[in-house]
Structure 1
């Protein structure tokens, strides 16, 4: 059955059944992923997917259902399942089918250069990438992963209030993980790219990135426990921001799961800290002109110069707090219910180069890698104790790699104790970004 015919019949059936208003959300996508090993294609996956979710309001309750098939039987199933699920709801939370906004911003989420992408060229690039990584240094002993992936999607929202929204996006990513070894042991590194065309995948540069990172970690050793002047490298800071991103959720705050509850207008970070949620960022992995409730998205400073301006909201949490939705009502998939989540979240960069940051601390530690974030970080209290790696700094220069240490502190204290920001803002294959930062008050446990 054609999509528009299905939509019209579904809405008609829902109205007859007693639904006051309803909405459909659909997602249609395809992906290609290619992994290579030892000069051969190890895995080639081509996948296509389609899914449609239906939600409708009946007796002031919102019911949900979903399907992957568009036929008459699916229409009956969607309506009946949504009605049944609505009858099971016991809370009195008000729910909404949004009428839509007058205007929606334009945001580039689709690259024409990636249309009709050639899988053969993808394979050649992946093979070249592995070869370049192996040949870059005689210390490369293995490749832990070498992959190139393409995905595209078309999604949209239609409702009985006359709203019709559509958006499409596509992305190309690639990475290589070379392993190096010498008498001191083994280490790995990662070379990667997020691209809008095949020309942006440059095997030699990616191999150099991954191998040089791995080589820099060789010969690592622990250091005595203590309090050190500390730089958290951009990629490690991204790990912390990702882990604690949920603290900015209005839903988490209303459930008592965020210490930021009720702190709008208060200083929660250093005056040099500004944290932005930007769904309109060109090339952002989470960019979108509207959220999954059809609310127009916009760029917002969650924290501006240390002060908490707003939490993130969908329609339900915004209504509870008596504010406007921030356009952060998103689904994990077409089959999921709407929750609150960030788009492209980042800590705004400063003006200093990484070399300037090292010069400023003189002697101290750079933290480049964190492990154990799922078990070693309490997202409610903010406390964390994490295995870490990095480098020791003397006279403003890296001297030797550091490993077998534990970094401990509190996320909310960390935000207050950021004393300087680098200009090296980075989104490492993530929708979360950060520059490197100098921070005080962290404890390092070593030998």
Structure 2
């Protein structure tokens, strides 16, 4: 179903509004394919199609919401009636209200590629099989491939409101992922590799396979080091996970709920001068790029931290209104839920030095290539940070022996202030945060 058809459905629903009602209709349609191969055979293949509508009604300061997983005409009317009924029993809130056009123009982004639709199921299977073969051939120590996957999504959505918002769009995305298994001297290590794009032609089997092989083989022979304070270098994949936690504390929703360590710190120096953090879903290179947020407002580049100074929080229309500001085009949601607030394409502004150049300047440190229990080990209110990790020692500017069974600990506040360098290797991942090599001084590494 194309975006114009979805928008027509949304407009029809909005047209059913009565006097004094605010109505918002969000309509979505998507088709996903997932292929997994194992030992040269198809382990699983799924093609799933979903569509549905979410309707929000606001009247007399009360909000009601309902959704349905079909676009049948009679169900649309029933869903609107249910949303109206839910509004009758909702708690009043003076800040309830739909988003209104704010004059920001929707960016023109090249997010939809017809070539993905023409890429047949057999070709998708062949690509996953090619990836598995490439991982196996990458090193004699690779003894198996736990999984080799191809996946893609074709999506379209539309939003219409009684406040005058009309927005629709569509996008495509696809990815390759592989988990490798390396063994030597009765020791086994795993590695992960990936490649993402908007169409299959942009995917790189070689890139995904090489990463999966290298991450597994270089950890063979890992030992547990002694406890000490060191400079840590976060691999782009780890940095992306770290940024996702920071981003979560910079939403107006988190601030209003008392769940942000940055509440009341606007205009404060919260990070090193090398840190400029932006959320920019208008960047078409971002895996999660989009021209409209979850309320139909135009997305925009929001600089959250500039040169270490906290400049703003992200808002949807509700949190903006309640905070005395305005939406930053940062509403996130599916048709099955009401709008929340979140980062859509978070990244650090990269520096001008490569990872190799950064490592060359470190006498004693650790390259962290993987973490475990990250979200459970971080308190977004106090900032306490502690997570299991593995990686490679850095000695005299060179990567050295692998280490494992370590814990790195600090606080989010201290880590941001102790950033000494940001790498030039900005890497977009299959998530809403980008990765980059990040150097952080004075982190406690707990080992033997």
The two structures share one fold, judged by TM-score above 0.5: yes
Offset, 1:87: 2.1
Q: More deviation in 234-243 or 341-350?
A: 234-243
Residues 22-44 of structure 1 deviation map (CA, whole Å, 9 limit, x = unaligned): 12101111011111111111111
2:243 to 228, 241, 244: 241
Q: Give, in angstroms, the shift of residue 6 of structure 1.
A: 5.2
Q: CA deviation at 1:337?
A: 0.9
**Conserved? CA contact 1:184–1:219, under 8 Å:** no
Specify the SS of the correspondent of 2:361.
Answer: helix
Q: Distance in 2 between matches of 1:249 and 1:187?
A: 37
Who is 2:191 aligned against? 189
TM-score normalised according to structure 2 size: 0.94
Who is 2:366 aligned against?
Answer: 365
Q: Deviations over 1:166-207 (max 9, x none)?
A: 110010101111101001511111221002332333334432
Counterpart mapping for 1:27-426 below 5 A: 27-102=28-103, 103-183=105-185, 185-331=187-333, 333-426=334-427
The CA deviation at 1:9 is 5.4
Bigger mean CA deviation after superposition, 74-83 or 311-320 = 74-83
Q: Per the alignment, in what secondary structure is the counterpart of residue 80 of structure 2?
A: helix
- SS of 1:238's partner is helix
* Aligned mates of 1:156, 1:138 — CA distance in 2: 51
Q: CA deviation at 1:5?
A: 7.2
Q: Distance in 2 between matches of 1:142 and 1:10?
A: 53
Return the offset for 1:115: 3.0
Q: Which runs of 5+ in 2 are unaligned?
A: none
Question: Which structure 1 segments of 5+ residues have no match?
Answer: none
Pick which of 371-380 and 220-229 moved more: 371-380
Residue 434 of structure 1 corresponds to 435
Cα distance, 1:205–1:267 mapped onto 2, change above 3 Å: closer
1:10 alignment partner in structure 2 = 13
The Cα of 1:13 is off from its aligned counterpart by: 4.1
What SS does structure 1 have at the residue aligned with 2:90?
A: coil
Structure 1 residues 8 and 232 mapped into 2: Cα distance closer, same or farther (>3 Å)?
Answer: closer
- Partners of 1:73 and 1:315 lie apart in 2 by 30
Give secondary structure in 1 for the equivalent of 2:292: coil
* Deviation at residue 48 of structure 1 after TM alignment: 0.7
How many residues align? The count is: 443
Q: 1:90 to 1:196 in 2, by over 3 A?
A: closer
